[in-house]
Amino acid sequence: MTDIALVHEWLNVYGGSEKLLAEILAMYPRSELHALIHNARNLKGTPLEGRAVTTTFLQKIPRVEHLYRGLLPLMPLAIESLNVRDHRVVLSISHAVAHGVKTSPNQTHISYVCTPMRYAWHLQDDYLRLHHLDKSLLGFAARVTLGALRRWDASAAARADRLLAISAWTAARIRAAWGREARVIHPPVDVERFDFSKPREDFYLVVSRLVPYKMTALIVEAFNRLKLPLLVAGDGPELPRLQRLAGATVQLLGHQPDEVVADLMSRARAFIHMAVEDFGIAMVEAQAAGCPVIAYGRGGAAEIVMDGETGMLVERQSVEALLETVSRGWSGMKQWDASAMRANASRFSRPRFREEFTAFMRPFLDVS
């Protein structure tokens, strides 16, 4: 038996929530790990490689690693099927259903929330478009199903004894969707692995999953009009559309390893991000590399970017607003201070996270 059961959702990529999970596992290495699905092949070369994972019945579905987003209606049943009752503390990391894991009264359940379920709340229309349900006869049934998921989501949120949020933005969404308060502990960023001393080169950078809500198409359209060099690192279902849209100055690089991304951030003139993020680890990483960030000024960007000092916040999520901000940012060749950006990023460092998170967890793990 271990003191902590860690509950995640889909362990088939290594993204922001998986980096958070890996950091917590490094702090509490004897924790047992549970997830809806697990693809060990996709986690090779990451800190999660070789970790034993208890999964759910969803793991038995053929090609589940490609189909899992379409299985959203089954996820509440799957998360409730996990048996975590042999642990004093259950820590769920949730951006969909992990907060709904069932525990007993003698356990403490802490849910570290990245966001309430996006596709049941504010990204419902994106989910329907992604699965070609927005204009079909199945669309009505899908909307009914998502309505049922919202009701389950709000009800399941009451199961956690304590809620953590990755940002003030997420805490506000929790308050709106679930009617509960959450303490904010920003996730850790490995600031030290970035070099902020390199000279800036003449290209702009996007690092993102290529899905609709990331607004990469908006950025590409703006840079087509600006005729400025833009590199886009990332992969996803939007790639074919972006390939058709990209002009002569836009390069789509596909998925790139972490070390390549870090090098690009250390040399880019600016990092561009126009999505509303729950937090936005990539923006912090760019700041750690001394790179100015131009971002839409809602969501996590407002907590990360110091407007006018370490980057610029765009007032509207539109091509025209981005055009104006990029042009204004380099009129008169404003000099950006790379050391100020690095200092700003250090507010989200791993040592800061470990100190804050350990202090929060200590009362639940100490044996009286």
- pLDDT for 136: 62
The stretch 86-102 carries a mean pLDDT of 96
How confident is the model over 157-205, as pLDDT tens digits?
Answer: 999 999 999 999 999 999 999 999 999 999 999 999 999 999 999 999 9
pLDDT at position 65 is: 86
What is the location of CATH 3.40.50.2000 in the chain? 191-347
Look up the CATH architecture of domain 191-347.
3-Layer(aba) Sandwich (3.40)
The residues near 84 (Cβ < 8 Å, ≥ 6 apart) are: 5, 7, 34, 90, 101, 102, 103, 107
Q: Is 298 helix (H, G, I), strand (E, B) or coil?
A: coil
Give the CATH architecture of domain 4-188+350-365: 3-Layer(aba) Sandwich (3.40)
pLDDT of residue 159: 96
Average pLDDT over residues 197-224: 96
Q: Return the higher-pLDDT residue of 145 and 367.
A: 145
Q: Average pLDDT of 280-286?
A: 97
Provide the pLDDT for residue 329: 77
Amino acid 79: pLDDT: 98
Rounded CA gap, 66 and 354, in Å? 34
* pLDDT in the model for residue 180: 97
Contacts for 12 with CB less than 8 Å, ≥ 6 apart? 37, 38, 39, 42, 43, 65, 68
Q: Residues 248-277: what's their mean pLDDT?
A: 97
With 70 as the cut, is the pLDDT of residue 132 above it? no
Residue 295: predicted pLDDT = 98
The pair of three-digit structure tokens given for residue 203, joined into one six-digit string: 């290209």
Mean pLDDT of the chain: 92
288 or 14, greater pLDDT: 288
Whether residue 237 is predicted with pLDDT greater than 80 in this model: the reply is yes
Lowest mean pLDDT segment, chosen from 30-44, 131-145, 220-234, 301-315: 131-145
Dist CA 78 CA 73 (whole Å): 10
At residue 1, the pLDDT reads: 45
* 274 neighbors 219 (Cβ within 8 angstroms): yes
